[in-house]
Amino acid sequence: MKNIIKTDKAPAAIGPYSQAVEVKGMIYTSGVIPVNPATGEIPERVEAQADQAFSNLRNLLEAAGAGMDQVVKTTVFIKEMKDFGVINEIYARYFPEPYPARSCVEVARLPKDVLLEIEAIAAK
């Protein structure tokens, strides 16, 4: 049985998908982008976008009854690989050691033309 996770403290789905799904104690998030859920605004700079995206992810996990310390795997999609270092610095503020496994890939384009998107798998 799957439990659908939904919160207004993270951006709403902009298509036919759920924000997150829990199955047998595992939480699978959809991609989370740096949209302020209260205003719909997107920060301009990559630092602010990373902070907003990781904050949104934390809020989504909390809605599922989990935290950033329970994340076992992330995938980070970035628009420009040159932003890798800056994104790493902000990522380290949100994820405690030992860090989750991670993939990071540069992509041609992301929804709403944001600079990064993150998805995660967490174990409750």
User: HEC profile for 92-106?
Assistant: HHHCCCCCCEEEEEE
Catalytic residue among 21, 26, 48, 104: 104
pLDDT at site 25: 97
Helical residues (DSSP H) of 64-116, grouped into ranges:
84-94
Q: Which pLDDT tens digit goes with each residue over 3-45? A: 999 999 999 998 999 999 999 999 999 999 999 999 999 999 9
CATH fold for domain 2-123: 60s Ribosomal Protein L30; Chain: A; (3.30.1330)
Residue 104 annotated to the active site = yes
Q: Which pLDDT tens digit goes with each residue over 61-100? A: 999 999 999 999 999 999 999 999 999 999 999 999 999 9
Tell me the domain boundaries of the chain: 2-123
pTM of the model: 0.97
pLDDT at site 19: 98
Among candidate residues 96, 88, 97, 17, the one with its CA nearest the CA of residue 46: 88
pLDDT at site 109: 98
The average pLDDT across 44-70 equals 98
